[in-house]
Structure 1
Amino acid sequence: MRKEGNSDKKVKINGQWVDYLVNTERDTIAFFWEDLLFGTMKSIEYVTDLFHTDISTMELHENVDNRLLNWVQQRQKSLKNVHIFTDNARNEIYDAEKLKNIILSCKSEEIIIDARSSEELEIPNYYVKCNMFVCVIGKWITMETVMTIDCEVILLCEPSEPKFSGEELNRFLKHWINGGSLRLKTFYAAVGTDSTLQLFDGIGKNQKMEEKVYQTLYGNYKMTFRNWYQIQRNDGVMAAVQFLASDELNFYIFQFAVWPDANGNF
């Protein structure tokens, strides 16, 4: 962080005196450097060495490229959470090439993309192995992307651009029934219409009227199923499927969840 205003607190980091500021309300500490990348690396080294710990979470804003992320991933065995973020209130926009390189570089266990870019991204043949993949803004994600990602929770939350036709979702369900995406436990996406007829074309299903609440393995999300359908994978594993109307926003949500949930419920 670059210094704005005055700070009378200093700490010595690798022989260099650095201004810092403690925010007790947010439990944070800020170091002030002229060179942001160099300073952030030195701050991470200082804090992780001091407390004998690794970085667990990174929040990357529009002025950051993939160099810092790559450096952190190389110096430790794993990274729990990466949140790629732009602030709409400040009209922040990520350079498209920077954002693409960060997405391709990220190997975090949980990936959250909530960033506007300077132009539409194209990331063909994207693959990552993670526990949770959340994309709030991302028109580049195709059904092939969904079926290729090796992940347990996939949440695609962009209501302004509903994704996937009934035929595409039908292809996804058949992919899962035949053994594809074996690790996948939860898939959630905004879609344009309730395409139940196309969705279950060629797929056996049982309609369920009872209400079920599904707890995700990661992210602490809860999904409520009412008047839903149960389908079966070739190995006998069951999953819940539902189109959920969002009248206020004029789109539908496609919910898919594999039993049991995080609490062991069927």
Structure 2
Amino acid sequence: MPHHPFPLFSLPYLPLKKVLDSFGAHAILYISMCSLRSKRIAVSYRGPSKNVKLTLHFGYKHSLSFSISTVCLEELCIYWLLSAENQSELSSVDRNLATVRIGNFCDIPVEKGRLGLSTYWDDCMVGITEIGDYAREVFNQDIYEVTLGEKLPEDVYERAAEWVKNSQETIQSLHCNFNPEIVNDLDSILENFKYTEILVLDVNPPPEYFPAKPPNFNVDHLHILFSFWVKQEHLLTMNCKYIILQESKLSSNDLNVFLKHFMNGGCFQLKEFSVDVKTSIDYEVVLNDVEFEERDRDVERVYVNEEEHHHTLRGGLDIKRPSDDAKVTIMNFSKHFLMIVWPDFAGNSY
């Protein structure tokens, strides 16, 4: 019996919407590249297949991915959509690849690849920025996150920042994971990207690194894996819900200054402050001129964070902020400073 194509786009609106609701983000994007008509339908569609957060990757992997917004940050799964590959990587053998139109570019070769569909361009940076603009159009939303990998090509960070500025002005999340080739690589990124919610820096700069200008630390989530360069003056500019500093060189006195800053109304939206240091913390210095109540180790409390992860706290040091009676628990670990602000995200208070 002969097989006939299913006339999908001839369906009435409601049945067609139900089909598109079940497609998922991959199919919505891929079907948009089949024809101008299919693109119009994909762009006009509104529904659960577009309930995603889009990420544009620059550097070693020039690619587009998405995550489902309900997935918690620590268990985030990446689903690859498209990658921009160099035209020179195509085999000299004619494979008769299908071609698609992306943005202003026609006849872009495409095939199944490691990161979703591979598309081939004369300039990968042109390709990934065209893909970014195309995804924004199809999914009716801005790119949520930009990730910066290794510096390929040489001007990738500058061109990525320029694309964000020209296309959507700001980015909600910026994630950097690379080995800086020169000291001002990180400076250039911190100065030129306007990030508003999340900053993750998995970047190990030279030992002498110090930011040329004060970075923007007014975000919800701040995570710096190599934070040896973060000084007291940087702490006092932070206004975040979550602060995680690893490989820190902050002193017990620095932590005392920050704690007093918080008690006087600074960093007012803070919910969790975590610092790993290499030398033991002197809590007599940390708590100097701060009233607190020490809890016995047999006192257990459960703290639920924004991702609904449950953490059991045993003992600790309890503090109240005078201005609003905000309750704080500090866990007095030897080389790990952990400060929790109650109530937690489940409404629990100590």
TM-score bracket, normalised by the shorter chain, equals: 0.7 to 0.9
Contact persistence 1:163–1:189 (CA under 8 A): no
Which residue is equivalent to 1:228? 316
3-state DSSP of counterpart to 2:256: helix
Contact persistence 2:85–2:118 (CA under 8 A): no
Change (3 A) 1:228 1:134: same
Match of 1:153 among 234, 238, 242: 242
Which residue is equivalent to 1:18? 108
Deviation by residue 1:198-236 (Cα, 9 ceiling, x = unmatched): 11111110112322332333x666654322001111121
Change (3 A) 1:224 1:58: farther
CA distance in 2 between counterparts of 1:50 and 1:155 reads: 35
Offset, 1:136: 0.6
CA distance in 2 between counterparts of 1:223 and 1:148 reads: 28
Contact persistence 2:317–2:332 (CA under 8 A): no
5 Å-filtered alignment, 1:181-192, equals: 181-191=267-277, 192=279
CA distance in 2 between counterparts of 1:104 and 1:261 reads: 33
3-state DSSP of counterpart to 1:234: coil
3-state DSSP of counterpart to 1:228: strand
Match of 2:260 among 171, 174, 182: 174
CA distance in 2 between counterparts of 1:172 and 1:154 reads: 12
Which residue is equivalent to 1:262? 345
Contact persistence 2:180–2:186 (CA under 8 A): no
3-state DSSP of counterpart to 1:109: strand
Residue 33 in 1 paired to residue 116 in 2? no
> Cα RMSD over matched residues?
2.5
**Which sections of structure 2, spanning at least 5 residues, go unmatched?**
1-83
Contact persistence 1:213–1:223 (CA under 8 A): yes
Deviation by residue 1:127-161 (Cα, 9 ceiling, x = unmatched): 33211011012322112212202221111122xxx
Higher helix proportion, which one? 2
Deviation by residue 1:53-79 (Cα, 9 ceiling, x = unmatched): 221122111213143134225433753
> More deviation in 124-133 or 185-194?
124-133
CA distance in 2 between counterparts of 1:216 and 1:70 reads: 35
Change (3 A) 1:66 1:180: same
Change (3 A) 1:145 1:98: same
Which residue is equivalent to 2:203? 115
Which residue is equivalent to 1:95? 182
| Larger-Rg structure | 2
Contact persistence 2:149–2:176 (CA under 8 A): yes
Change (3 A) 1:15 1:65: closer
Report the AA paired with residue 44 of structure 1.
Answer: G
Percent identity over the alignment? Answer: 24
Which residue is equivalent to 1:138? 227
Residue 163 in 1 paired to residue 249 in 2? yes
Change (3 A) 1:75 1:238: same
> More deviation in 13-22 or 40-49?
13-22
Which residue is equivalent to 1:207? 294
Change (3 A) 1:216 1:9: farther
Offset, 1:80: 2.9
3-state DSSP of counterpart to 2:121: coil
Contact persistence 2:221–2:241 (CA under 8 A): yes
Deviation by residue 1:103-139 (Cα, 9 ceiling, x = unmatched): 2233231110002336643115333321101101232
The alignment covers a number of residue pairs equal to 249
3-state DSSP of counterpart to 1:32: strand
Which residue is equivalent to 1:248? none
CA distance in 2 between counterparts of 1:109 and 1:9 reads: 39
CA distance in 1 between counterparts of 2:309 and 2:149 reads: 24
Deviation by residue 1:156-208 (Cα, 9 ceiling, x = unmatched): 122xxx42211111111111111111122211111221311111111110112
Residue 2 in 1 paired to residue 79 in 2? no
Report the AA paired with residue 52 of structure 1.
Answer: N
Given the two structures, how large is their TM-score scaled by the length of structure 2?
0.64
**Which sections of structure 1, spanning at least 5 residues, go unmatched?**
87-91, 246-251
Contact persistence 1:65–1:99 (CA under 8 A): no
